[in-house]
Amino acid sequence: MSKLIVPVLLLATIMFSSSNTWADKPPSLSVPDTHSIEVKGKLNLYRVQVQDMEFGRGEELIDAEILVTVDSAPDKVITLRLHEDSPPVSTIMANTLRDAYINKKNVTLYYQITPVNRKHVKLLMVQMD
């Protein structure tokens, strides 16, 4: 049995010491990842609402506190949750969106890929242009 432990430990060491990469890791900042859709422009709407006040109906129902629209895709409502269990970066993204709206700055938003014709989508990234 001790003869089996050494090869198993060696194999485990090799497996865990190799570098890990994400399957959809973008090669650079100019190339988007493969799990989101990009939209660019100025924010037409920046709406903040209380927690648990859902937005939409049926399959379009979404639970979020921040709702934005972009001039280049006015019929898409891009949403962001700010619940207690949300990651801290959500607050930073909300503040970045607010600043972009107030200052009329261009932004690039990346939202989650959804089924065709879905109008309410979840925000993944914010980039100031």
In 3-state terms, what secondary structure has residue 9?
A: helix
Segment 75-87, tens digit of pLDDT: 899 989 888 888 8
| Between 102 and 14, the higher pLDDT residue | 102
Looking at residue 13, what is its pLDDT? 60
Name residue, tokens 């900042």.
29
Strands 120-128 and 73-80: parallel
pLDDT for 100 beyond 80: yes
| Between 15 and 34, the higher pLDDT residue | 34
Helix (H) / strand (E) element for 8: namely: helix 2-17
Architecture of the domain delimited by 28-128: Beta Barrel (2.40)
Looking at residue 56, what is its pLDDT? 73
Looking at residue 23, what is its pLDDT? 47
Segment 107-124, tens digit of pLDDT: 999 998 877 777 888 899
d(CA 35, CA 65): 23
CB neighbour list of residue 34: distance below 8 Å, 6 or more residues apart: 24
Averaged pLDDT, 38-67: 85
Lowest mean pLDDT among 6-10, 24-28, 31-35, 119-123: 24-28
Residue type, 3: K
Q: Nearest-CA neighbor of 68 among 86, 29, 94? A: 94
Averaged pLDDT, 42-63: 83
pLDDT for 11 beyond 50: yes
